[in-house]
A and B are shown apart, each in its own frame.
Chain A
Amino acid sequence: MISREHIGRTSAPLTVEVERGHIGRFADAIGDPNPIYRDEAAARAAGHPRIPAPPTFAAALRPNDPRQGLAIDWSKLLHGEQEFTHLRPLYAGDTLVLTQTIADVYEKTGKAGTMDFLVLETTARDPAGAIVYLARGTIVVKR
């Protein structure tokens, strides 16, 4: 059982760069052959100012983890839900400041018994402080 006292805990800000090589490797991993993720000229020809990131690339930009110190058994963890909201597209060369907050902790009892739920919210801002995207993930921990 995860204590609800952890709700609101936020990780230290982490500055990351969206790297074009990383975008290409991510596209390779998911098996998306679109050249706009690998070739600047192809991206421009498709109307993009730079190489764009695939729709779920934000998953590969990892903030500092606010779960430090929580006893989580990684063999009992499943991903329940995930949401990304982009206020503007993400491009290679972007610099982002990431923070992640434990937004909620609760338990639910269903067919599979009682499980713990952990909701993590990530905020990505540009260097001027404007929000670029928000991510919200629900992690399920079986007991």
Chain B
Amino acid sequence: MTVGDRLPELVKPPIERIQLVKYAGASGDWNRIHVEEGFATAAGYPSVFAHGMLSMAFLGQLLSDWVGGARVRRLAVRFKAITWPGDVITCRGEVTGLGTEGPEGEAGSERLAEVRVWAETQKGTITAEGTATVAV
């Protein structure tokens, strides 16, 4: 693994409204804006839209597909654009740094990779981007 390596990309199936209901239930985020069409349109949106945290979960999957489960030490994301039903989200990443220092509070050291990650729609709009530290 070297700096500049690209992660295998993750292409998710098109976002369906039922996925937003499932994510609301699984996460406990029941903001009606994500699940009730009338609530979303009354608020001025064309339709319901995905939880930002769903995109962040996709970025989490990008990382765990790459390095395995339980290896993401830190993940920080900024939400840039709304994800709509029907959008096809592709997650990508790039290694930006390598080190061996262990995170604070953990015995011993481990090899860590710093990664830049982002999610984009089929139109190339970046919906979420951020950085992660993963054990490799």
- A: which residues have CB within 8 A of B? 22, 25-26, 28-32, 34, 36-37, 43, 46-48, 52-56, 59-60, 62, 74-91, 130-131
User: Which residues from chain B contact A36 at a C-beta distance below 8 Å?
Assistant: 69
Q: Is B73 part of the contact surface with A, judged by Cβ < 8 Å?
A: yes
Are A26 and B26 in contact, with the CB atoms below 8 A?
A: yes
- Band of interface residues on B: 35 or more
B68 at the interface (CB under 8 A from A): yes
CB pair B31 A74 closer than 8 Å: yes
Find chain A residues with CB under 8 A from B105 CB: 87-88, 130-131
Interface residues of chain A: helix, strand, loop or mixed (majority):
mixed
Contact of B73 among A48, A62, A86 (CB under 8 A): A86
Determine how close the nearest CB of chain B comes to the CB of A64; give it in whole angstroms. 12
Query: Can you list 12 A-B pairs, Cβ within 8 angstroms, ordered by A?
Result: A30-B54, A31-B12, A54-B57, A55-B75, A59-B27, A59-B57, A60-B27, A75-B32, A77-B31, A82-B76, A86-B74, A130-B105
Rounded to whole Å, the gap between the CB of A88 and the closest CB of chain B is 7
The answer for the CA separation of A31 and B21 in the assembled complex, in Å, is: 13
Segment 52-91 of B: residues with Cβ below 8 Å from A: 52-54, 56-61, 63-65, 68-79
Contact B70 A78 (CB under 8 A): no
Contact of A29 among B27, B42, B71, B79 (CB under 8 A): B27
Q: State the Cβ distance, A142 to closest chain B Cβ, in Å.
A: 10
Is B19 part of the binding interface, using a Cβ–Cβ cutoff of 8 Å?
A: yes
Q: Which residues of B contact A84 (CB under 8 A)?
A: 72, 74-76
Give the distance to chain A from B110, nearest Cβ to Cβ, in Å: 12
Contact assessment for B68 and A79 in the assembled complex, using a CB-CB cutoff below 8 Å: no
| Residues on the B chain within 8 Å of A60, using CB | 26-28
A84 CA / B103 CA spacing, docked (Å) = 13
**Does B13 sit at the interface, judged by CB under 8 A?**
yes
B19 neighbours in A (Cβ, 8 Å): 29, 31
Q: Do the beta carbons of A82 and B52 come within 8 Å of each other?
A: yes
* Bound CA span A1–B104, Å: 37
The one of A82, A90, A130, A131 that contacts B77, using a Cβ cutoff of 8 Å: A82
> Which A residue sits closest to B103, measured CB to CB?
A87
In the complex, which of the residues A29, A31, A78, A85 contacts B74, with contact meaning CB atoms closer than 8 Å? A85
Taking CB atoms, residues of chain A closer than 8 Å to B12 are: 31
Decide yes or no: A91 and B75 within 8 Å by CB, A25-B25, A54-B64 being known contacts: no
> Which A residues are CB-close (under 8 A) to B59?
56
